[in-house]
Chains A and B, each alone.
Chain A
Amino acid sequence: MNAPAPVSGPLAALKAAADGFVASYQARKSALAGDIHLRAEAAGLVASRGLPGPREEAWRYTSLRPFAETQFSASARAEPRAALLARIPAISGTRLVFVDGRFHSELSGVPKGFHVTTGAPAFGSIARPGDEKLVALNTMLAEDGAAIHVPAGVDAGTVVLVSLGTGRSVGFHPRHCVMLGAGARLSLVDLALGEEEYLHNPVLTAEIAEGAALTHLRIQDEGAGAFHLSTVYADVAARGTYDSFALTLGARLARMEVHARLAGAGAAAHLNAAQLLGGAQHADFTTVVKHDAPNTASRQTVKNVLTGRSRGVFQGKIEVARIAQKTDGYQMNQALLLSRDAEMDSKPQLEIYADDVKCSHGATVGALDDDQLFYLRTRGVPEEQARAMLVRAFLSEALDPIGHEEARGAMEAAIAAWWDRL
């Protein structure tokens, strides 16, 4: 990687970081697997347009400056420490483990009745590196990923996709692709865990055919110094569903961006999330839902629990095309601020071009209710436990609908343990 040029402001720092990534690509491009044209095109985009900056509307609340000011080296094959391996919750299903972005076959299982390919980035066909700069960065530098293909009519059960970050300031950009044939079903439990500082910039594309159902349950519990910048694209055909829940607990700076496109009549997407942040953490959950067909439905319930000096961001955009009559869109963002210095920024955006639609959004920010706390304490529940109970209650609307019991159990356990790290 080139030595960074002297920088003066955030824009210069972002430019220097982008240049550093391009130089890294130039030095390693002959060794990178996968489509060289796609990569070269992405490299051109990164070189000319750089990284997302503060002047872009979609990045108003999240500054990548701390990320730009950190040097990341290319990842190499690594072995995770036992303590990190022990953090993987026991969830039955086909386990696919990536360590610092590289597939680790000894830690992984073998699928039955569906297909998984690893060893090269699974670029898929619906990502838009021209629109999302971090996706261009991923496309340029992706080294590995899982292509999961579930044939029509097959219920593939659960795949547990694990990313382990071992620290040491490496950067990795895995590229995953999920393809569900007509009527196929898959529960994808997507765990991002790690220790200390690194960059994890994954892109996952999901192509969900007619009547197929993808349940995407994510736990982001990266290392305390880590940067988690992920992008998901989900295209849902007629009567298909993309049902997702994302729990954010870790990382120093996190942005989860989800682009869901309801492309066929009767398609549905649930983009639920919970962000629990403390210290100086910053986490951003950004969604764009495009209703491109009639009778499509989207629901988003996003809960934030913020303490310390942490900052939570939710940006939710719902676009309803002229053809998408009878759209049902719902979006609710709620924040519980447990400290005076925590901050929540919430930006709903509705762009509606059809005339017969039902779209609603709402946002609330509040503190724990003193009356509720006192009520619990008069019943003998100690203050700390009472606070934890009320926070869990606040999250229940987003957590309770998760039908995958093992994944929900892992999330419950992670939330219960969250208090110990504050």
Chain B
Amino acid sequence: MLEIKGLKAVIEGKEILRGIDLVVPRGEVHAIMGPNGSGKSTLSYVLSGREGYEAIEGTATFGGHDLLALEPEERAALGVFLAFQYPVELPGVNNANFLRTALNAQRRARGEAELDAVQFLKLARAQAKALSMPDDMLKRNVNVGFSGGEKKRNEVLQMAVLRPKLAILDETDSGLDIDALKIVADGVNALRGPDFSAVVITHYQRLLDHIVPDRVHVLSQGRIVRSGGPELAHALEAGGYAAVVPEAA
């Protein structure tokens, strides 16, 4: 379970998160929607431990662990995964080596046996196939020369291989055409189960037609101002943020 209480965070001295309260129980998928500048990406970076995103008040725990006290790699080993809005290119780093290094680093941190090259490739190829990714994407440098859609699919491939307990998807739908959107959504849905939670950050409702959330929260000016069921996303789509967020009017 992810539990965030009274979380305030600053970037370069400017308060972006102004008291977030959010509980995502085990096995649930929650969507966070909100206008540009509401603090959606900041929340994802604070939860994953990016330098320069400083929590000044409140708590964020996952499975009882104080996330804010941990290094990014320690959060990853606990099962926290951030799917980036803009996946980073790593020239000179082979995608398969990258994934295997990451998986084995997490397994090592958890005291599990590492996978050898053969075991790993079998796993990675199967997951790539399930995401309709050509095998050669594993051989290429991480995200280098990938189209926008390929980069997002590569994020979902990493998620499928690393099997996190909590995935934070930061505008994973941006820049995707409808076919790629479906592939990405199928990838996330395939992971759904009692041991998987997700926070799906999105500006638009259309992703939520494919990844149907248990709860929808509306973020505005650094606070959650409305929460509801999936129908809240439809209300936003119909009436815009102004309809549900008084300040946005």
Contacts and interface: CB of A to CB of B under 8 A. Distances in A.
14 contacts: A371-B88, A375-B87, A375-B88, A377-B72, A377-B76, A378-B81, A379-B105, A379-B158, A380-B106, A381-B105, A382-B71, A382-B109, A383-B71, A383-B73
B162 interface: yes
B101 interface: yes
Interface of A: 369-372, 374-383, 385-386, 389-390, 392-397
Nearest to B158: A379
B82 A378 contact: yes
B101 A374 contact: no
Nearest to A397: B92
A381 B142 CA distance: 15
Nearest to A370: B51
Interface string B64-83: 00000001110111000110
A383 B51 CA distance: 13
Given A375-B84, A392-B92, 10 more contacts: A372-B88, A379-B162, A380-B76, A381-B101, A382-B109, A389-B101, A390-B90, A395-B92, A396-B92, A397-B92
- The CB with the most chain B CB atoms within 10 A, among A380, A389, A390, A395, is that of A380
A390 B142 CA distance: 12
Nearest to A394: B92
A397 B91 CA distance: 9
A377 B71 CA distance: 8
B73 A372 contact: no
Nearest to A399: B92
By secondary structure, the A interface counts as helix
Nearest to B88: A375
A394 B141 CA distance: 12
B73 A380 contact: yes
A258 to B, nearest CB: 25
B96 to A, nearest CB: 13
B77 to A, nearest CB: 5
Contacts of A385: 101, 105
B50 interface: yes
A374 B51 contact: yes
Contacts of A374: 50-51, 72, 88
A389 B98 CA distance: 9
B102 interface: yes
A380 B102 contact: yes
Contacts of B98: 376, 379, 389
Contacts of A378: 48-49, 72-73, 75-76, 81-82, 84
Given A380-B77, A383-B71, A393 B92 contact: yes
A393 B105 contact: no
B23 interface: no
Given A370-B51, A385-B105, A377 B73 contact: yes
A374 B77 CA distance: 14
Contacts of A370: 51
A95 B5 CA distance: 67
Contacts of B73: 377-378, 380-383, 386
B207 to A, nearest CB: 21
A17 to B, nearest CB: 42
Interface string B151-175: 0000000100010000000000000
A396 B166 CA distance: 34
Contacts of B105: 379-382, 385
Nearest to A381: B105
Interface string B96-111: 0010011101100100
A80 to B, nearest CB: 36
A390 B88 CA distance: 13
Task: Give me the 9 closest cross-chain CB pairs, A-B, nearest first.
Answer: A393-B92, A380-B76, A379-B102, A396-B92, A380-B106, A377-B72, A375-B88, A380-B105, A393-B93
B76 A379 contact: yes
B25 to A, nearest CB: 23
Contacts of A377: 49, 71-73, 76
